[in-house]
């Protein structure tokens, strides 16, 4: 009979195998579908990470910081949903007499429109305002008639590579929303990968206005194989991701804010329940007064479009402290 106290012999190979199996279990399995893999070395920099000039506190085409006490214009900025840069309203290429709309789902800046000119066709098709009005005033060799882009004779406009005068077949337009839109706008034969804003008649594409999209604009983008390839070619495949939209992030932020407020109220109620009623009532009233005062302050600053300074925040809390002393 073998001695039960005798130690079991384990080879180094067994130890390594056991460690690897444990790592595989923790990191998601050992089959080819596992999302994690083991690497001995990591790159110093992830090439997939992208940082624009916002990372250095520089914004807009004017490369100004934020906040910017020296900026003489309207300091309000709007974020582009594609490049995620922030732009001053006066740098969105809108005419002087045209203001940004109060209600819109997302803004695409003029720089991104030049890079993804096919989006102009969607803006024309949906008659997005004030984009169509601003764009129509800039047209050189086109006319905007009842929402249609009518391009002048061939001799007045350079032909794109691969462009054809043949009409688009109905079978193709049925399969591709972008082709259908182009056909409705009387624009035919374009290679959308090579399409440029100037091909729509704008002699100076740097002046193309930014577009403010109406609700659900991403859902209206074509999802046929050709368009999916187009999005991949232009590095905008994320446009089809429902979790990449501004609306999704706003809804997510609102839900988190409601959840945080609920947790704060529950924590406050639990803390107050251990105090005498008179003390608890006084603290609860003070907390509510602070919330109301802060909300009113932030609302006024938002309506005025002014930047909140550190001095103003300090003054606000000093006022709250003084008010509490006399209650």
What pLDDT is stored for residue 149 in this prediction?
54
Residues 98 and 145 in one domain: yes
Of 217, 245, 273, which residue sits at a domain end?
245
Give the three-state DSSP class for 192: coil
CA-CA-CA-CA dihedral for 315, 321, 322, 327, to nearest 10: 150
pLDDT higher than threshold 80 for residue 40? no
Residue 169 within a domain: yes
What pLDDT is stored for residue 44 in this prediction?
66
φ, ψ of residue 143 in degrees (nearest 5): -130, 140
- Count of the separate structural domains present in the chain: 2
Residues 100 and 232 in one domain: yes
* CA-to-CA dists, residue 92 to 77, 134, 163, 263, 316, angstroms: 10, 11, 31, 41, 35
Residues 234 and 213 in one domain: yes
Separation of alpha carbons 121 and 117, rounded Å? 8
Residues 183 and 307 in one domain: no
DSSP 8-state symbol, 211: E
Beta-bridged to residue 142, according to DSSP, are 151
Residue 42 within a domain: no
Give the three-state DSSP class for 144: strand
Residues 110 and 149 in one domain: yes
Model confidence at 92, pLDDT cuts 50, 70, 90, reads very high
Residues 168 and 201 in one domain: yes
CB neighbours of residue 27 within 10 Å:
13
Percent of the chain with pLDDT strictly greater than 70: 72
Separation of alpha carbons 201 and 156, rounded Å? 10
Residue 225 within a domain: yes
Residue 212: in which H helix or E strand, if any? strand 211-213
Residues 164 and 307 in one domain: no
User: Cα 240 from chain centroid?
Assistant: 12
Arithmetic mean of pLDDT over the chain:
78
Residue 140 within a domain: yes
Strand segments, DSSP code E, in 66-166 are: 77-79, 86-88, 106-108, 142-145, 148-151
Residue range 156-165: average pLDDT? 36
CB neighbours of residue 303 within 10 Å:
8
Residue 238 within a domain: yes
pLDDT higher than threshold 90 for residue 273? no
Of 245, 280, 300, which residue sits at a domain end?
245
What pLDDT is stored for residue 171 in this prediction?
47
CA nearest neighbour of 98 among 212, 246, 216: 212
Residue 63 within a domain: no
DSSP 8-state symbol, 141: S
Give the three-state DSSP class for 59: strand
Separation of alpha carbons 173 and 148, rounded Å? 17
Of 192, 210, 245, which residue sits at a domain end?
245
User: Cα 262 from chain centroid?
Assistant: 28
Residues 131 and 194 in one domain: yes
- 27-31, 231-235, 256-260, range with the lowest pLDDT: 27-31
Residues 213 and 139 in one domain: yes
Separation of alpha carbons 302 and 219, rounded Å? 31
The model's pTM is 0.61
Separation of alpha carbons 149 and 185, rounded Å? 5
What pLDDT is stored for residue 128 in this prediction?
94
Q: Which domain holds residue 310?
A: 257-325
Residues 275 and 213 in one domain: no
pLDDT higher than threshold 50 for residue 39? yes
Structure token pair of residue 43: 């790159």
Structure token pair of residue 300: 């006024």
Residue 298 within a domain: yes
Residue 222 within a domain: yes
CB neighbours of residue 43 within 10 Å:
7
What pLDDT is stored for residue 259 in this prediction?
85
CA nearest neighbour of 195 among 147, 223, 161: 161
pLDDT higher than threshold 90 for residue 74? no
Residues 173 and 140 in one domain: yes
Separation of alpha carbons 101 and 99, rounded Å? 6
Residue range 2-15: average pLDDT? 56
Strand segments, DSSP code E, in 58-157 are: 77-79, 86-88, 106-108, 142-145, 148-151
Residues 222 and 319 in one domain: no
- pLDDT tens per residue across span 290-319: 888 888 888 887 777 677 888 888 888 888
């Amino acid at each position: 009979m073998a001695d039960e106290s005798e130690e079991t012999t384990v080879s180094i190979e067994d130890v390594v195998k056991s460690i690897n199996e444990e790592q595989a279990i923790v990191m998601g399995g050992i089959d080819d579908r596992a999302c994690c893999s083991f690497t001995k070395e990591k790159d110093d920099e992830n090439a997939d990470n992208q940082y624009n000039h916002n990372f250095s506190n520089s914004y807009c085409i004017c490369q100004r910081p934020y906040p910017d006490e020296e900026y003489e214009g309207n300091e309000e900025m709007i974020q582009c949903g594609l490049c995620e840069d922030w732009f001053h309203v006066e740098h969105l290429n809108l005419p002087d007499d045209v203001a940004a709309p109060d209600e819109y789902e997302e803004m695409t800046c003029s720089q991104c429109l030049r890079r993804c000119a096919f989006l102009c066709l969607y803006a024309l098709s949906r008659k997005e305002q004030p984009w169509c009005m601003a764009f129509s005033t800039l047209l050189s060799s086109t006319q905007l008639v009842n929402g249609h882009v009518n391009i002048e004779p061939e001799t007045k406009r350079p032909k794109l590579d691969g462009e054809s005068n043949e009409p688009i077949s109905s079978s193709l337009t049925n399969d591709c929303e972008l082709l259908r839109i182009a056909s409705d706008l009387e624009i035919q034969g374009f290679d959308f990968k090579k399409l440029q804003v100037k091909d729509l008649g704008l002699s100076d594409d740097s002046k193309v206005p930014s577009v403010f999209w109406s609700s659900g604009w991403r859902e209206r983008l074509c999802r046929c194989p050709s368009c999916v390839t187009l999005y991949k070619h232009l590095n905008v495949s994320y446009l089809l991701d429902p979790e990449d939209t501004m609306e999704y992030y706003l809804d997510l932020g609102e839900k988190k804010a409601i959840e945080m407020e609920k947790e704060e109220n529950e924590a406050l109620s639990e803390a107050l329940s251990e105090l005498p009623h008179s003390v608890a009532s006084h603290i609860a009233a003070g907390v509510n007064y602070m919330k109301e005062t802060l909300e009113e302050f932030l609302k006024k600053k938002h309506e005025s479009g002014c930047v909140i300074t550190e001095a103003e925040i300090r003054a606000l809390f000093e006022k709250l402290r003084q008010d509490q002393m006399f209650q």
